[in-house]
Structure 1
């Protein structure tokens, strides 16, 4: 098994044929975007948990849940909002990129590794 040496990368190269032009179309081809599985999974989790917390906070605020838990209303609403907003934003981008809408790509979702 061949090991990569330090500084060596796993880049795939294409051989370009020589022509009379200095520039070739293949130089400007953009590689297909990589599907950010972890980032989309995290955004779905944030979206779902944020939605649940917002619903619970709304029920606390309106009084459908017992008033003895009233002191927890604002922290639940704030935490739900903090989780819901970025989760919804990235789930929406992932959905539009999946559907193929113009201007949306998986490259717009930040990926962490």
Structure 2
């Protein structure tokens, strides 16, 4: 004889548990065409992509400037100023690069990427 299964956390036998239907807001009708309709094309957030491109370019310029200052090609400002510019350049470049990468993959249609993954820049 097989023992009756129980609801482990409560210790209630399965035969004593009462089940009921969850309340539904729909009338239960499923439209098969709803699943086959093509999705409307996603709106491209041009303003956000422009902001990320500018962020990437500013970060790249700051990074190059910091490297040139550290090497002593631009001025003898010292390594403390060059390292500060390098840190700011990296902090500006990385988010711009990341969001541009998401935008490029969404444009190419790679699975798992969409324009909705980009932050809203006041569009």
TM-score normalized with structure 1 length:
0.70
The match for 1:3 is none
Instruction: Describe the shift of the 1:31–1:110 C-alpha distance in structure 2 as closer, same or farther (beyond 3 A).
Output: farther
The match for 1:22 is 29
> Bigger radius of gyration, 1 or 2?
2
User: Counterparts in 2 of 1:25-104, with a 5 A limit?
Assistant: 25-26=33-34, 31-67=40-76, 69-70=77-78, 71-104=80-113
CA RMSD of aligned residues (A): 2.1
Q: How many residue pairs end up in the alignment?
A: 92
Give the gaps of 5 or more residues in structure 1.
Answer: 1-20
1:2-53 CA deviation, whole Å, 9 max, x = no partner?
A: xxxxxxxxxxxxxxxxxxx712242686543221111111000000000010
User: In 2, are the aligned partners of 1:54 and 1:76 still within 8 Å (CA)?
Assistant: yes
